[in-house]
Structure 1
Amino acid sequence: MMKNILTYIFSALLVSFVLVAQQDSLSVKKDTIKTETTKIVKSTDSVATQTLVDDLAPPSLTDIISISKIFWSIVFFLIGFYGIKIITKILDVFAEKSANYRITIKGIIPVVRISGWVILIYIIIAGIFRPPASTIIAIGASLGIAIGFASQDIFKNIFGGIMILFDRPFQVGDKIEIGSYYGEVVKIGLRSTRIVTPDDSLVSVPNADLMSQSVSNSNAGEPNCQVVAEIYLPIDVDTERVRKIATEAAQVSKYIYLNKPIVVVFFNEVKERRSYLKMRLKAYVMDIRFEFAFKSDMTEIVLRELIKQKVISKNELF
């Protein structure tokens, strides 16, 4: 009996010892895991901190600019420059060969030119140099402030050029009048618009002036345009015969656009105490460039026929 009791006590002590040993082992393992976890967390924090410091550090100039990047930027610039020039030249040739679509094609040329330059600059900056966004923002802000104070008029003209391209009050090929200038629009640039006057003078008008002044457009994007020829006649002339002769002269002109009406009107005017009739022949020409040729033809043909049919005499001409 006593032997069994001692056996039970010994077994209980042995089990208790084993449980305590296992508990101590688990505690040691837990402490080890905590220590390793703490080391990993500290290591992760250190790496994250170092990465943040590296991100905030300014990039090296050699990382942005190198010989190879400069070389390829020059190559792409030359390709883009001559590519834009060739494309606009081809469009201009097609425009001159197509009378019906001349105005439309010429209106596309400024859009192609500006879009080409924007794409080219983007490729060079974002594709070749690839500076960090923070660098672009910092440089852009600095340049914007400096240029903004130094070149307010230039930016007004550039903004005016962009608004002309989107609002389209006129386009290349239109005949416009602004201030004392009248002529055909031959180029719409970012800074100025160029027009050729009837005496073949090239005038550059700042885009800011075009946006702030009234602009008269003769043909509004269409190849045909109304032309008015004026002839001064005696006050007692037979207006019916004059109207018939003028209308027939316009109908047989090689410049006439017959899909639109021909109108002949008369006005009584007094100059230097003398009254006379001013005949105005309104008709449309096929191409705006025929404006002055048509006026000259109408003046010569109508006066010649009036004298030939004895409606007026040479002495009655003004």
Structure 2
Amino acid sequence: MGDLGLGAAFSDITVDALLEALFLVVLASAVIMVVQNLVPRVAHQLGGKARLYLLASVPLVRLLVIIVTIVLVVPVLVEPSFENMIAIFGALALALGFAFKDYANSLIAGIVTLYEMPYRPGDWIDVNGKYGEVKSIGTRSAEIVTPDDDVVIIPHSTLWTALIANGNDGSDNLMCVTEFHVEPHHDVRAILDTLRDVAFTSPLVKTQQPVRVSVQNKPYGMKYKIKAYPLDPRDQFRFKTDLTMRGSEALAAEGVRLVSVPVATV
């Protein structure tokens, strides 16, 4: 029992068996590389929901290829008897438990991620203050790209402890909120209508989704919010810039001045 029966399990391995197993591993690696490079290119050409669905399929296909490869390789190397399977999987469990505890934690979380899908490629998420678009999901971690073009690697084990905010959750609908802080003593109804018109006339707005404008009383005056959806989640920063620029111009035309607000009072 000292070697968990691994010696007997691998005692009959031949050179032909090793070559066949190596061929299967190389073939699987080639398939994964093709999927990871080809599918995102096709997805970006299509856009919309089709893009998100195709991007989300990449980690699932990769996991499926890995599982199929393991299922094919193990019988090639080891006679698939009950004792041999117990020996192999027992040794694997010990290795993961003692030598790769943190990696195994992220790996299990990665499997949970593929099942529950708290985020997918194409989603815009915020994790521990890092906001960006999910570009890829691996077996251990996810890769996001921030608006400043920084690549951030997020281990899937973060799922257990962090709050994850998902802006579009697998769809192409991502709400953008643009704020205006203005002086008091003005026609609130007129400003609500003006800001609503600003949103509806943006060339980047998704008109089939609702546009909402809200207002709150603040010690310094009024706080207005435009809540609307851009045509594509990737347009969100151009969209907010457009709303901010034209909203400020519209407020100035109405004779309403913007005010500077300390961060603590926002």
What TM-score results when the alignment is normalised by the length of structure 1? 0.73
| Structure 2 residue identity aligned to 1:311 | G
Q: Is the 8 A contact 2:10 2:77 kept in 1?
A: no
Distance 2:9 2:115 in 1: 39
Alignment partner of 1:64 is 2:13: yes
Match of 1:311 in 2: 255
Match of 2:3 in 1: none
CA drift of 1:166 comes to: 0.8
| Structure 2 residue identity aligned to 1:152 | K
Alignment partner of 1:129 is 2:74: no
Distance 1:278 1:72 in 2: 68
How many pairs align?
252
Distance 2:110 2:102 in 1: 12
| Structure 2 residue identity aligned to 1:173 | G
Distance 1:173 1:241 in 2: 38
| Structure 2 residue identity aligned to 1:90 | L
* Cα distance change of structure 1 residues 114 and 156 upon mapping to structure 2, 3 Å threshold: same
Mean Cα displacement is larger for which, 108-117 or 150-159?
150-159
CA drift of 1:189 comes to: 1.8
Alignment partner of 1:150 is 2:99: yes
Alignment partner of 1:295 is 2:203: no
| Structure 1 residue identity aligned to 2:17 | K
Alignment partner of 1:174 is 2:123: yes
Match of 2:263 in 1: none
| Structure 2 residue identity aligned to 1:300 | M
Q: Is the 8 A contact 2:183 2:222 kept in 1?
A: yes
Which aligned runs of 4 or more in structure 1 are off by greater than 6 angstroms?
none
Alignment partner of 1:140 is 2:84: no
**Correspondence for 1:190 among 120, 139, 143:** 139
1:6-63 deviation per Cα after TM superposition (whole angstroms, max 9, x unaligned): xxxxxxxxxxxxxxxxxxxxxxxxxxxxxxxxxxxxxxxxxxxxxxxxxxx94783x3
Distance 1:83 1:295 in 2: 40
CA drift of 1:116 comes to: 0.8
Match of 2:221 in 1: 276
Query: Secondary structure at the residue paired with 1:146?
Result: helix
* Cα distance change of structure 1 residues 190 and 71 upon mapping to structure 2, 3 Å threshold: same
Match of 1:245 in 2: 194
Q: Is the 8 A contact 1:99 1:223 kept in 2?
A: no
Distance 1:65 1:239 in 2: 83
Match of 1:83 in 2: 31
1:166-202 deviation per Cα after TM superposition (whole angstroms, max 9, x unaligned): 1122222111222222222222222112222222221
Query: Secondary structure at the residue paired with 1:220?
Result: coil
**Correspondence for 1:113 among 41, 46, 62:** 62
CA drift of 1:115 comes to: 0.7
* Cα distance change of structure 1 residues 185 and 64 upon mapping to structure 2, 3 Å threshold: same
Distance 1:278 1:121 in 2: 58
| Structure 2 residue identity aligned to 1:277 | M
* Cα distance change of structure 1 residues 269 and 221 upon mapping to structure 2, 3 Å threshold: same
CA drift of 1:148 comes to: 0.9
Q: Is the 8 A contact 1:230 1:279 kept in 2?
A: yes
* Cα distance change of structure 1 residues 283 and 75 upon mapping to structure 2, 3 Å threshold: same
Q: 5+ unaligned residues in a row in structure 2: which ranges?
A: 1-6, 261-266
Query: Secondary structure at the residue paired with 1:225?
Result: coil
| Structure 2 residue identity aligned to 1:187 | S
Query: Secondary structure at the residue paired with 2:186?
Result: coil
CA drift of 1:112 comes to: 0.4
* Cα distance change of structure 1 residues 58 and 284 upon mapping to structure 2, 3 Å threshold: closer
| Structure 2 residue identity aligned to 1:121 | I
CA drift of 1:110 comes to: 0.7
CA drift of 1:227 comes to: 0.8
Match of 2:264 in 1: none
Match of 1:285 in 2: 230
What TM-score results when the alignment is normalised by the length of structure 2? 0.86
Query: Secondary structure at the residue paired with 1:64?
Result: coil
Q: 5+ unaligned residues in a row in structure 1: which ranges?
A: 1-56
CA drift of 1:220 comes to: 1.6
Relative contact order, higher structure (CA 8 A, sep 6+): 2
Query: Secondary structure at the residue paired with 1:176?
Result: strand
